[in-house]
Structure 1
Amino acid sequence: MTLPDGYGSNHENKVCKLKKTLYGLKQAPRMWNEKLVNVLLELGFEQNLGMLKYFLGIEVLKTKDGLCLSQRKYCLDLLAEFGLTGCKPVNSPIEANHVLTYLCEQDNQVLLDVSVYQKLVGKLIYLSHTRPDIAYSEHYLSQYMHSPTNAHFKIALRLLRYLKGSPGNGILFKKGASLDLRAFADSDWGKCVNSRKSVTGFCIFLGNSLISWKSKKQSTISRSSAEAEYRAMCAATCEILWLLNILKELKVDIKLPVSLFCDNTAVISIAANPVFHERTKHFEIDLFFLREKISKGVIKTVGVTSENQTADVLTKGLPVQAHEKVCKHLGLFNCFAY
């Protein structure tokens, strides 16, 4: 800042102090907040919000078992906005083993008002912050944001009908002495008919509480189901490493190795066998990455049956009974039902 006229050489090493923060500066929001807080304190207000109960549409509820995060009001407002408050609910967010492409013979007409679909999916994305049971459906619908058809919009409305049956469901952080990390990784090989890319799904538990999950289409095409599963395990391993760093900064000691559950015996064999195979050379980097973490004692691969694969709900639509079983494993809880 240029010094005012009249300042001599004695003031060459001095700067001017602003009495009022200018708009557009990075420090402006912080300075205005500091000014507001000081004024309110001078007027006699106390800076004490108490226990957290509601934040950005997420309700924080205490139960005898722990802490529940729910978006019940947000979900009910969403149903009312699209006129489905009185609709008949369904028991699953998406049909089991569904296949839908742009070449489907029925309802393949592009929506005239794309903004309605985009608005709905955008709100569903925010709702999935406490609803891992809709993560795959939301991931699937978000792939058609620019040119959705009537068929896609019907799937989105079906998802709303599913939410109508359990608007109060949320994530329950359970009390417990264990702070061990556990992860489940799964994939659905060649799920996307248009690109033949597979879907990765993983969920990670701290003790008995779900703390991280993801449903995402893989960036490359896998040539076998084993390759797709292996890529899913590597994605889960990256998330585990990030969580370990966060927990370390919070002074939380985590017992190693972290158990990574997979229902593909071939993948577990490949991860345990240090011998390089010709048929695995197209995902060589992933091989070395996961094997390195196993050899260092960070990750331990564990086999699990397909019936007990919790990450299944993040890669495909499941039958009603299987979907309800996985929801219990994820720790979904409805505080408003009691």
Structure 2
Amino acid sequence: MNALKKNQTWDITNLPQGKKAVGCKWVFTPKYNADGTLNKYKARLVAKGFTQTYGLDYNETFAPVAKLNTVRILISIAVNLDWPLLQLDIKNVFLNGDLKEEVYMTLPPGFENGHDKQVCKLNKSIYGLKQSPRAWFDRFSQVLKAEGYNQCLSDHTMFTMNHEGMITILIVYVDDIILTENNPQEMNRIKLALNKDFEVKDLGNLKYFLGMEVARSKEGIHVSQRKYVLDLLKETGMLGCKPSKTPISVKKKKKKVEQPTTEQEVAEKKKQEEEEKPADIGRYQRLVGKLIYLSHTRPDIAFAVSTASQHMHSPKQKHLKAAYKILKYLKGTPGRGLFFRKTNLRTIEIYTDVDWEGDQENSRSTSGYCTFVWGNLVTWQSHKQRVVSTSSAESELRSLSEGLKEGIWLKRVADETYTKIESPLKLYYDNKATLSMALNPVQHSRTKHVDVDRHFIREKVEDGIICLSYIPTKLQLADILTKGLPEDIFEGFVCKLDMMSIYDPT
């Protein structure tokens, strides 16, 4: 209540005719320390935003949050340039947003000032309102722009300042802010400037961000989600399970037993029937949702999680079994994460691959790419293509195009953060026929169905933006994002992606 009054969040008034007041309630949420111990309980007054009406008391609600891809790019830049990574926190963040709409709220429970028949006319946003995130971000953006910062177009939550070669970069995820720079004076100045408009808490060096544990040493920066993994294993009852060497099995063609004759065939038929039974949808969706968030620091499970997420609306027992295999793999590698090291490279490298007709159910292909900025893995993706490719060339050109688009975005981020990148970008692929087709200026009738992707790639090559290079399949790092691999090959790729665990004994 003190924070609400200090911020002049509302005025007490009578409810005008034709208007309605949203309800509110007190919510008490636990706050935890980085090691998982309870710090305190925080009380918040929350509006019942689900009773709001579009066009009456709210309009646009979308507010951007920092892309975790951008956060990893900043970490790679910071470790290579020996820049500090600091974290700030804004207290009572949504109370700082200025409301543009006319919103009325009932009096808070326990408010005893003889105003029983009156309501609160909100001047500031409050937790629970649909437009609160947008109102807060608009206010925060205005403050930073007034301080001379530029808002990036590649990621609208990133703000930069370049004053005679002294660079400051700031990125915000709701109320969590990461700050890095080579200008200590500007860092202190912006902290004081933010403190004038908001109540800012300086958390020091970046150690824990959105569930990700950040450990910095002379060798580099290690980012993992070890506690998140252990909590997930405990929650699902898999803490004592037998570890698996890989998160997904190697793809095998299953024989469909129509009329079993031997005992073995009868058992196989019964097993297939059990696997086809429906699973608990809510349980499956909660588990896969948590695995999706975990894959932000674990590219080694990206393909397995992508496969599991394709059955969110109608999971079967075989899909639930595959999701639990991922948990068994995590049991053996809970502390594994990304390692960012200092290198002499100043390039952007893209590895892209495709598994043509990889899905046994609908014959769609699976694309995957991973990118390196200044020698460190920063982005990756594994996903099933939207349409069936009638030829391997079609799926491969589409995969090349997706990797190229990601590289162009990375170049844009580098330009906006004043980061030096050697040209051209390097894109590695393991199919010589596809590379020849992409570079061929002559149009053939056999490639007319992929002309858009082919012309897009060729245009960027001619402009000197990208350089296409052949790489053997055994060195194609994106292979881990397109299919299940044998143990030895899988572990080899994990090492090449610079994934490690600082918790393992040396």
User: Which band: TM-score by shorter chain?
Assistant: 0.7 to 0.9
How do 1:8-23 residues align onto structure 2 when only pairs under 5 Å count?
20-21=123-124, 23=126
Asked if 1:228 is matched to 2:331, the reply is no
Please identify runs of 4+ aligned residues in structure 1 that moved more than 6 A.
30-34, 100-104
1:179 to partner: Cα distance: 1.9
CA contact (8 A) 1:98 1:317 kept: no
Give the Cα separation in 2 of the matches to 1:79 and 1:209. Answer: 29
Query: Closer, same or farther in 2 for the Cα pair 1:22/1:225, shift >3 Å?
Result: closer
How do 1:168-317 residues align onto structure 2 when only pairs under 5 Å count?
168-317=335-484
CA contact (8 A) 1:101 1:194 kept: no
Which of 284, 292, 307 is the aligned partner of 1:140? 307
- Identify the structure with the greater strand proportion: 2
Asked if 1:50 is matched to 2:204, the reply is yes
2:247 match = 93
Give the Cα separation in 2 of the matches to 1:201 and 1:31. Answer: 35
CA contact (8 A) 2:279 2:317 kept: no
State the Cα deviation string for residues 32-61 of structure 1 (Å, max 9, x = none). Answer: 999xx99xx79xx98421001112211001
CA contact (8 A) 2:291 2:305 kept: yes
Which of 187, 209, 217 is the aligned partner of 1:63? 217
Query: Closer, same or farther in 2 for the Cα pair 1:334/1:22, shift >3 Å?
Result: closer
Give the Cα separation in 1 of the matches to 2:387 and 2:323. Answer: 27
Query: Closer, same or farther in 2 for the Cα pair 1:236/1:28, shift >3 Å?
Result: closer
1:107 to partner: Cα distance: 3.1
Query: Closer, same or farther in 2 for the Cα pair 1:193/1:316, shift >3 Å?
Result: same
1:207 to partner: Cα distance: 2.4
Query: Closer, same or farther in 2 for the Cα pair 1:280/1:31, shift >3 Å?
Result: closer
State the Cα deviation string for residues 72-107 of structure 1 (Å, max 9, x = none). Answer: 000000001111111110110101124679999343
1:20 to partner: Cα distance: 4.2
Give, as a single letter, the amino acid of the residue that structure 2 aligns with 1:81.
Answer: E
Give, as a single letter, the amino acid of the residue that structure 2 aligns with 1:258.
Answer: L
SS in 2 for 1:337: coil
Which of 461, 464, 488 is the aligned partner of 1:321? 488
Give the Cα separation in 2 of the matches to 1:91 and 1:19. Answer: 56
Query: Closer, same or farther in 2 for the Cα pair 1:296/1:102, shift >3 Å?
Result: farther
Give the Cα separation in 1 of the matches to 2:254 and 2:414. Answer: 41
Give, as a single letter, the amino acid of the residue that structure 1 aligns with 2:238.
Answer: L
Give the Cα separation in 1 of the matches to 2:407 and 2:309. Answer: 26
Give the Cα separation in 2 of the matches to 1:19 and 1:282. Answer: 56
Query: Closer, same or farther in 2 for the Cα pair 1:74/1:295, shift >3 Å?
Result: same
TM-score (normalizing by structure 1) = 0.86
State the Cα deviation string for residues 200-235 of structure 1 (Å, max 9, x = none). Answer: 100000122101100011122212222211111100
- Provide structure 1 residue ranges, at least 5 long, that are not aligned to the other structure: 1-17
Query: Closer, same or farther in 2 for the Cα pair 1:147/1:30, shift >3 Å?
Result: closer
State the Cα deviation string for residues 109-161 of structure 1 (Å, max 9, x = none). Answer: 33352111111000000000000000000000000001111111111111100
Give the Cα separation in 2 of the matches to 1:82 and 1:151. Answer: 17
Query: Closer, same or farther in 2 for the Cα pair 1:212/1:28, shift >3 Å?
Result: closer
Aligned length: 316
CA contact (8 A) 1:107 1:149 kept: no
Give, as a single letter, the amino acid of the residue that structure 2 aligns with 1:152.
Answer: H
CA contact (8 A) 1:101 1:193 kept: no
Give the Cα separation in 2 of the matches to 1:160 and 1:250. Answer: 38
CA contact (8 A) 2:278 2:315 kept: yes
1:63 to partner: Cα distance: 2.8
TM-score (normalizing by structure 2) = 0.59
CA contact (8 A) 2:221 2:341 kept: yes
Asked if 1:122 is matched to 2:289, the reply is yes
Give the Cα separation in 1 of the matches to 2:275 and 2:420. Answer: 53
RMSD: 2.7
SS in 2 for 1:243: helix
CA contact (8 A) 2:370 2:381 kept: yes
State the Cα deviation string for residues 241-290 of structure 1 (Å, max 9, x = none). Answer: 11111110001121111111111111011112111111111111001000
Give the Cα separation in 2 of the matches to 1:193 and 1:290. Answer: 29
